[in-house]
């Protein structure tokens, strides 16, 4: 007797549900994507108990007739693929035909749909169709999923808490709203509204609805294109950062994706602007020919493969870095005072996403319109501002190389600051006509040294000097073998060395710039970087060396310096390409505007 049998369809769907439906968010995702593919302009998601008890998704799309409404719950039934070639030119969000039968196999489902001619109601329990009947419904579809995983208690046991499940759903719906600002999204849980966008097509308005006004003010529009890709969206000022990379929203042809390589290239563009463990708020939409990507690599369709990742990396890096280099990135130190219900006064600089607040649509719209008017006024002033013209080519000694041009641009971003004193031996207090500035002397000096060392490391013409007393370094066998394999890196930096026995090297000469730091300590740290490096990239390697040496060579906290030294430090900081952060992403300067100070002292109300 044969041991191999064809699985029962209900059992096969339950197995598939383990891949397609892991949590309540997956159900919402599949139903919302179907609604978008149905050309809906309004999508309402209603939850009970974070979706564990009930999920209802209603849209105003094209709907289905009776035959399609029943067939939609058959495995691998789809309206989006008709031939093999269509798999390589997918422009819809759904296409696999697995979601609905998988969801229906582990829940109670009620589908009501109308194509504008007739309405159909389909009721399914545990994957079995109980009834198909006509119903009254406007054009569109309403699908209710109740008691998820009621017949697979093992899956139910592994659902997270109600708050966690709701957070997953809220995050996904937020991202879909950002992806399709022309669609009105309404999300409620136990009749409490969490998100309500207007579907006006204004991406910045959706950002405002999700993150609030404080973040919206710190968002910058970006756009660019090359032969393969077109990108547009918004990026945040470096000061607006979170510990979770989920605030980076990447969209490819309208599809929300999580591609680790794409996220890494975005965060690399903020290199030295933010700390390594922090992430900016990003909404980046990527348009590309469907033939250049593969979306069929996972059942959840949350990741894709790019066939020309190098050109995408070049475009993303260029667009983000160019925009950041234009900005004055001095955080405003003014704080927001709040009165708590208890009567206690608190000071806060944090923002709360709008999705966690009581939602007042009328108030939010008025707030955003006020912000838009302020933004237009600011842009008008910027366009009318005149900047110093570039020197004439005929003028003697006025030609600038690229580095010098960047210094000129940098000095335009920060006006001259005049130091007046030092606080706690660490923070320089300075002023100009715009207000008061507080400068971290270590972070500022670290940035100055970092850019100096990075230029020297990138300079092919190395000036070296012999050491009066050579530095002898001994290593364990495993470290010495790694170092020996990377002797070429010592050559590139400009070290003069020789092997002395099996586990020892002698450093006899160094590049001149390195002698300005604590020499032996710096040499040991550089060699430690070489030994411990992983996933080697020359650019990151040179940055790591420059940042490490700069930190050790800089003024420390509690090092008291004279007023003249402060003046030199501030002028050299203004010369930097990025004077706003140290190499590790910490701010070098914060400011109180003159108006902020007058407001704090009640001179301005």
Helix residue ranges, H only, 258-308: 260-269
* C-alpha separations of 516 from 104, 510, 520 in Å: 70, 11, 11
- Which regions of the chain are under pLDDT 70? 1-20, 75-97, 155, 295-303, 334-412, 515-517, 535, 605
Which residue's structure tokens are 């923002």?
351
Cα–Cα separations (whole angstroms), residue 263 to 251, 266, 281, 282: 11, 5, 11, 10
Residue 531 contacts residue 482 (beta carbons within 8 Å): yes
- Residue 536 gets which letter from DSSP? -
Q: In this predicted structure, what is the pLDDT of residue 486?
A: 84
> What is the pLDDT at residue 5?
57
Which of 149, 156, 170, 60 minimizes the C-alpha distance to 104? 149
Please give the model's pTM, rounded to 2 decimal places.
0.73
User: Tell me, what's the pLDDT at 22?
Assistant: 79
Q: What percentage of the chain carries pLDDT values higher than 90?
A: 25
- Classify residue 7 by its DSSP letter: P
3-state secondary structure of 337: strand
Residues 6+ apart with CB under 8 A from 415: 432, 433, 434
- Which H or E element spans position 261? helix 260-269
Rounded CA separation 541/522 (Å) = 15
Residue 36 tokens, joined:
């978008």
Gap between the Cα atoms of 498 and 478, Å rounded = 18
| Cα–Cα separations (whole angstroms), residue 333 to 295, 412, 418 | 45, 21, 18
pLDDT given at position 390: 39
For residue 108, count other CB atoms closer than 10 A to its CB: 18
Q: Which residues pair with 94 in a beta bridge?
A: none
DSSP 3-state of 64: coil
- What domains are defined for the chain? 9-159 (3.30.565.10), 197-380 (3.30.230.10), 401-605 (3.30.1540.20)
Beta strands in 515-598 (DSSP E): 589-593
């Amino acid at each position: 007797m044969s041991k191999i049998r064809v699985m029962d369809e209900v059992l096969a769907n339950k197995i598939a549900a383990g891949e397609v439906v892991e949590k309540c968010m997956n159900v919402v995702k599949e139903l919302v994507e179907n609604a978008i593919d149905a050309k809906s302009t309004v999508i309402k998601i209603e939850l009970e108990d974070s979706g564990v008890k009930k999920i209802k998704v209603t849209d105003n799309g094209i709907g289905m007739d009776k035959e399609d409404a029943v067939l939609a719950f058959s495995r691998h039934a789809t309206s989006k693929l008709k031939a093999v070639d269509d798999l390589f030119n997918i422009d819809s969000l759904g296409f696999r035909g697995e979601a609905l039968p998988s969801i229906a196999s582990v829940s109670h489902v009620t589908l009501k749909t109308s194509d504008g001619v007739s309405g159909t109601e389909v009721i399914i329990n545990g994957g079995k169709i109980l009834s198909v009947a006509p119903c009254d419904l406007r054009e569109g579809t309403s699908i209710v999923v109740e008691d998820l995983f009621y017949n697979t208690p093992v899956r139910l046991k592994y659902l997270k808490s109600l708050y966690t499940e709701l957070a997953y759903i809220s995050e996904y719906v937020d991202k879909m709203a950002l992806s399709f600002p022309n669609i009105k999204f309404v999300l409620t849980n136990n009749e409490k509204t969490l998100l309500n966008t207007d579907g006006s097509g204004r991406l910045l308005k959706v950002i405002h609805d999700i993150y609030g006004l404080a973040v919206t003010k710190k968002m910058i529009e970006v756009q660019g294109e090359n032969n393969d890709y077109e990108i547009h969206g918004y990026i945040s000022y470096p000061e607006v950062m979170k510990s979770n990379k989920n605030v980076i929203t990447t969209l490819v042809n309208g599809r929300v994706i999580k591609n680790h390589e794409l996220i890494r290239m975005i965060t690399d563009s903020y290199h030295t602007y933010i700390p390594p463990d922090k992430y900016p708020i990003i909404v980046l939409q990527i348009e590309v020919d469907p033939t250049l990507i593969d979306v069929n690599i996972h059942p959840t369709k949350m990741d894709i493969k790019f066939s020309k990742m190098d050109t995408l990396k070049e475009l993303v890096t260029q667009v983000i870095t160019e925009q950041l280099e234009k900005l004055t990135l001095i955080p405003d130190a003014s704080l927001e005072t709040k009165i708590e219900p208890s009567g206690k006064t608190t000071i806060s600089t944090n923002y709360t996403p709008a999705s966690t607040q009581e939602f007042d649509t009328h108030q939010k719209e008025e707030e955003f319109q006020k912000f838009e008017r302020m933004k237009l006024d600011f842009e008008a002033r910027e366009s009318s501002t005149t900047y110093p013209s570039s020197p004439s080519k005929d003028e003697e000694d006025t030609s600038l190389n690229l580095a010098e041009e960047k210094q000129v641009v940098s000095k335009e971003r920060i006006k001259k600051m005049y130091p007046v004193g030092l606080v706690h031996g660490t923070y320089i207090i300075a002023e100009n006509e715009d207000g008061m500035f507080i400068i971290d002397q270590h972070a500022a000096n670290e940035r100055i040294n970092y850019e100096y060392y990075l230029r020297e490391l990138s300079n092919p013409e190395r000036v070296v000097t012999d050491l009066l007393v050579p530095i002898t370094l001994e290593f364990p066998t495993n470290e010495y073998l790694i170092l020996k394999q990377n002797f070429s890196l010592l050559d590139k930096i400009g070290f003069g060395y020789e092997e002395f026995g099996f586990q020892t090297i002698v450093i006899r000469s160094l590049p001149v710039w390195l002698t300005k730091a604590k020499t032996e300590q710096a040499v040991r740290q550089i060699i430690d970087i070489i030994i411990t490096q992983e996933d080697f990239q020359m650019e990151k390697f040179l940055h790591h060396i420059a940042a490490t040496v700069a930190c050790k060579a800089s003024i420390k906290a509690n090092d008291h310096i004279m007023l003249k030294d402060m003046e030199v430090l501030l002028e050299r900081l203004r010369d930097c390409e990025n004077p706003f952060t140290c190499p590790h992403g910490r701010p070098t300067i914060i400011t109180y505007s003159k108006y902020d100070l007058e407001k704090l002292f009640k001179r301005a109300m």
